[in-house]
Structure 1
């Protein structure tokens, strides 16, 4: 395979865009499929508002975290560049707080995230196919390596195929959540577990990618992950206590 993969197009952008749209479409359809087969404690109108909060939060969060990935260029960034740059981790980060804000406004007390876990995993997997095909034209590639999985992503160097790593991690998460589907957990714990595991992965894999430090040698993705760990510290302690019993 030669990167970037264009499938006959002049550039990789149509290919990447196709997988982004496909990821969104499949994720939404899968969410509604699961919702019909789940006793949802949240009313349809509240669920709609929560979805709006998630999408707006993800839209904003993905752009802000992406912009902070290159702090040296922050004040040279145009609005177009700001909008075009995005990161999945930032989308999850912003989506989480968009949901929490909307729930406070509408007075919804029930946890709302468990229904999203499997659709998110599938959507990320599909979206990363486009990132993988994009090679070095998409800022998800890794640093140069002698690791046996190193690939020439379009610049003649063997690099970590970090988009492929994330696809493999999504398959692991899919298998993991399938295995624990009958485990009794508090409503909302599956989403919290997904967030902790995903950001734990992102914290580690960011060291395999070229990044520009934001503070203390860590990137905006690293700091987002650390914030998530602090935000869910009570949940993490509870899970560790249950596992260790």
Structure 2
């Protein structure tokens, strides 16, 4: 079975898991902002995510001395954030609308990264050479860090923690889950970038180092300005 086929299978599984997470959350008696299901909102999200995915993915290839077109999940995340913030600003929406996407995002990345792992060298998401016993040969005879599995495991841990918070009706975690997952994702992704063979952009930092920092800082600001927990309890939990 080819790596490209397996990648597609895991991509589909990631989308199905994300949809399942949205459904599961809707069955927990939790109330999320309705704006995130409105058609203009979804259109802005899809457009921004798609543009960001190809823009940053392809730019990273170029910076790494390779040609072609590529996609990036982190690029999609950044593009979606920018598009939604611009849409909300133009529409006069002041409500924080990302809460329902925390668990779907974590699950989607955790499963999707497995597809990147099985895609092998062609996916260009593998790690740098290592002598560690769990180094993986992606087909060129070189043992490399399976950074895709590192990220998959990290995001799966977040998903487990979020589910526990949702079941315990943790108002702050539920309402600010999207910014928590962004903070967590940006932090762990920044670390894994040191284990990837990507071309540097500034000093030792790659394009995705800088993108990870941007996402991390955005999340930190949003969390620092989050409404108080008691108010969240009254407004967003059934």
TM-score, length basis structure 1: 0.81
Alpha-carbon shift at residue 103 of structure 1 (Å) = 1.5
200-209 vs 59-68, which moves further:
59-68
Aligned residue among 127, 132, 146 for 1:142 = 127
User: Residues of 2 paired with 1:186 and 1:167: CA distance?
Assistant: 21
User: Residues of 1 paired with 2:64 and 2:31: CA distance?
Assistant: 48
Alpha-carbon shift at residue 188 of structure 1 (Å) = 4.6
Structure-1 residue corresponding to 2:72? 87
Aligned residue among 8, 22, 26 for 1:31 = 22
User: Residues of 2 paired with 1:172 and 1:22: CA distance?
Assistant: 18
- Structure 2 regions of 5+ residues with no counterpart? 230-238
SS of the residue corresponding to residue 7 of structure 2 reads helix
Q: Residues 146 and 96 of structure 1: is their aligned pair in 2 closer, same or farther, counting only changes over 3 Å?
A: same
User: Residues of 2 paired with 1:164 and 1:86: CA distance?
Assistant: 18
TM-score, length basis structure 2: 0.83
User: Residues of 1 paired with 2:97 and 2:222: CA distance?
Assistant: 16
2:141 is the counterpart of 1:159: no
Q: Residues 170 and 208 of structure 1: is their aligned pair in 2 closer, same or farther, counting only changes over 3 Å?
A: same
Q: Please give the per-residue CA displacement for 1:59-98, whole angstroms capped at 9, x wherever unaligned.
A: 1111111122134478x95xxx33xx01111111111111
SS of the residue corresponding to residue 59 of structure 1 reads helix
- C-alpha RMSD of the superposition: 2.6
- Structure 1 regions of 5+ residues with no counterpart? 1-5
Q: Residues 30 and 176 of structure 1: is their aligned pair in 2 closer, same or farther, counting only changes over 3 Å?
A: closer
SS of the residue corresponding to residue 68 of structure 1 reads helix
User: How many pairs were matched up?
Assistant: 224
Instruction: Check the 8 A contact 2:120/2:126 in 1, yes or no.
Output: yes
Instruction: Check the 8 A contact 1:71/1:214 in 2, yes or no.
Output: no
Q: 1:9-20, aligned counterparts within 5 Å?
A: 11-20=2-11
